Every structure is written in structure tokens, then in C-alpha cells.
Amino acid sequence: MHMTAGSHGPRLIPGPSVTISDVAEAAGVSRQTVSNVLNAPDRVRAETRERVNRAVSDLGYHPNRAARSLRASSPRMVGCRILPVHAETVASIQDRFLHALAEAGQACDHHVLLFTAPDADEETERCTALWRAGAVSAVVLYDVTPHDPRPRQLEAAGVPFAAFGRTATGAAGYSWADVDNTAGTASAVDHLVAAGHRRIGFLGWPEGSSVGDSRAHGWLAAMDRHGLLAQSHRLDVRGDDTMSSGTRLMVELLDRPGPPTAVVAATDALGVGALHAVRHHGLRPGEDVAVVGFDDTPAAAAVGLSSVRQPIEEVGRLIMAELLRLVGRNADEDVDEAAESLHRLLVPELVVRASSAPPRSAPGG
């Protein structure tokens, strides 16, 4: 590109490699604004559109037709492994997530392709095969564990992906959105303390799960912050994430000397099981013993269980938007490649119901 003099001042002569960055610089706007003018002009103010269009004309910019052709032939599908549902679970978190992901994709003409896999290694193999075969544009990782091998494997294979959750190390290198599980159980403890409880138990999973460990840490940190850990240190019990496990663990706590007046459960399945145990002991949930779950499933609402609600819908929207950005970066030069990867930690919200009313006895009683 070079300039030549003319009767109306300098005129830009297009060179062989005018880029969207050249247009953005000439118009004094971002690359994304130029992309919006070219692809979605209704999003841009008239004055800005005129300035960008003038720069496009002056520079002789022509969008990359090959890239646009590639984008047009994209499968417009994102892949996600669907997990099996345990017979005793009441959780519907992946269902909510997939629904949110599908809704966000539908708004931009993308859809979700579900598949099954017996383990993590098989999942990454299928993700890679689907992507290389052109069946999907990108994939989603769900239920990421602290030392999950999947992000590293997909990065090595060059597969575009975003994750719900993050690993203990290396998370800065890929896109993810996650929920602050530690803050969730801490808010449950704060709520119970404010209601007058002092002996607050915890029903959790065995150690080794990113989500389970984070929720246990939230209970522990909040109890310590309130100065209640010493009188509750024996009230932390763990088991499988099932209703029967929640019942068994709660019975164990209620049969101990100095039983808890309240418990925080790591999931609604454990929480619903705890409610069964409370009633079996002739006690009234919320009045004699308070119970708070986690995930705010439909079952929690049905039985009046207070529960911590994850912003799953927002996670789905964020991840779909990030997948589209990653796919666009690979297929269309109009996408701003300098944009930072998605790294978002969202705070959950406690939904209070009848199961966590103030205790009948005096605090510490």
C-alpha cells in the first residue's frame, strides 16, 4: 500500500495485503468494530460505520473470501460428552448446563452434539476424531478434575475447546468458566451462624474431587472464621454422592454425643438424604435440625431444602461465546485474535427455604 498525490489530496493505493488491522488503524477503531461493520452493521453507530466504510474504500480492503467460505462450511456443531446418571442422584446440573449451552448456541446458529465415552482418555480420542472428521467445530469439557489430563491432551491435538471447571495447574493456558464452590458452602455456613447455629456439620465427598474439596474447604474456612471449628471438628463426614449415603452419614452424626443443630451438604442428594434421617429421628427439619444442600435442583425446591444455586445458565452462555471466538479465530481473520481467553469464576447464590430456619434451642445448646 502506498500514497499518491491527487487533486483532492493524498490517495491510498491498495497493496496486495491490506488487512483488517490496517482498516481499524485508518478508521481509529478496533478490529472487532470493523468486523461488526462488515458482518453486523446494525450494531455500530452510523457515524462509526461511515468512518469504517470510508477506510475500507480508501484502502481497497477485501475480506478474506477463503476464510469466509471455511466459516460458512463449518459444521456449526460443538461436541460434549454426556455423563451417566446415578440411580440415587437428584442432580440435574449437567442437564441445566447442556440446556443453557444449546440455547446460547441456537441464538448464533450453532448446536450441541452429545456423545458418550467410558473414561477421560476415550473422551479425548472421540473429541479429536469428531473434530478431525469435521463433525464439530469445537468441544466442551465438563466435570474437570484437579489433575484432569483432558485439557493437555486436547491442546496437544490442536482441538479448540473450553471447559466448565479448571485443573489445579495449567489453567491459564486454556479457556474455562467455573463456579466458586468454596464461596458457596461458606455462604451456607454464614447463613446458619446468623440463624443462631454453632454446631454445624458437613456432609461431603471423599477427598480428591475438585468440586468436593472446594466445597469442603468453604465449610472449613467459614467455621474457622466464626471461631466454631473446635466444637465442630468431628462433624465433618464423607461418603458417596447419593441419598442413601446422606441418610447414613446424617444418622451417624445425630447418634453422636453433642450432635449438630445444622449441617451443610455438598450436594442436594446428600441433603435430601439428611432430611430423611432427621425425620426418622423424630426431629423436624428447620426447627430441630437445619439442613442446607448445594446445586438447587428441582428436588430441593420440592422438599423445601435450602440450597446453593450455581449460575449454570451464565456458565453455558460464557462457554458458547468463547467457543465461537476460538472457532472464529481459526477460520476468520475478522475475529480479534488479541482477545484474552475466558477465565471466569462465578459466585453462586444461596436460596433459603424452610429446612434452615433458626434453631429452637439457644445458641450453643
Over residues 38-67, the pLDDT tens digits come to 766 766 788 888 898 898 888 887 765 444
Does residue 37 or residue 312 have the better pLDDT? 312
Percentage of the residues of the chain whose pLDDT score is greater than 70? 83
Res. 364: pLDDT tops 50: no
Sequence-separated (6 or more) residues with CB below 8 Å from residue 113:
77, 78, 79, 80, 130, 135, 136
Res. 359: pLDDT tops 60: no
DSSP-based three-state secondary structure for 279:
helix
Question: Predicted confidence band at 12 (pLDDT cuts at 50, 70, 90)?
Answer: very low
DSSP-based three-state secondary structure for 56:
helix
Res. 335: pLDDT tops 50: no
Average pLDDT, the chain: 86
Cβ atoms of residues 303 and 356 within 8 Å = no
Please compute the mean of the pLDDT values over residues 286-310 and round it to a whole number.
96
Cβ atoms of residues 23 and 59 within 8 Å = yes
> Which pTM value belongs to this model?
0.75
CB atoms within 10 A of CB 272: 26
C-alpha cell at 330: 481459526
pLDDT at 29: 87
Does residue 117 or residue 209 have the better pLDDT? 117
CA angle 298, 163, 31 (to 5 degrees): 120
| pLDDT digit string, tens, across residues 96-145 | 999 999 999 998 889 999 999 999 999 999 999 999 999 999 999 999 98
First to last CA, the chain: 82
* Strand extents, DSSP E, 246-352: 262-265, 290-294, 306-309, 343-346, 349-351
Q: CA nearest 61: which of 339, 329, 333? A: 333
Look up residue 289 and give its DSSP letter. Answer: B
C-alpha cell at 128: 479429536
Find residue 201's DSSP bridge partners: 263
Give Cα 237 to chain centroid, integer Å.
27
Cβ atoms of residues 155 and 173 within 8 Å = yes
Please compute the mean of the pLDDT values over residues 214-236 and round it to a whole number.
94
Q: CA nearest 137: which of 153, 160, 158, 156? A: 160
Please compute the mean of the pLDDT values over residues 280-302 and round it to a whole number.
95
Cα–Cα distance, 112 to 316 (Å, whole number): 12
- For the chain, domains (ranges, CATH) are 2-59 (1.10.260.40), 75-173+312-346 (3.40.50.2300), 181-310+350-356 (3.40.50.2300)
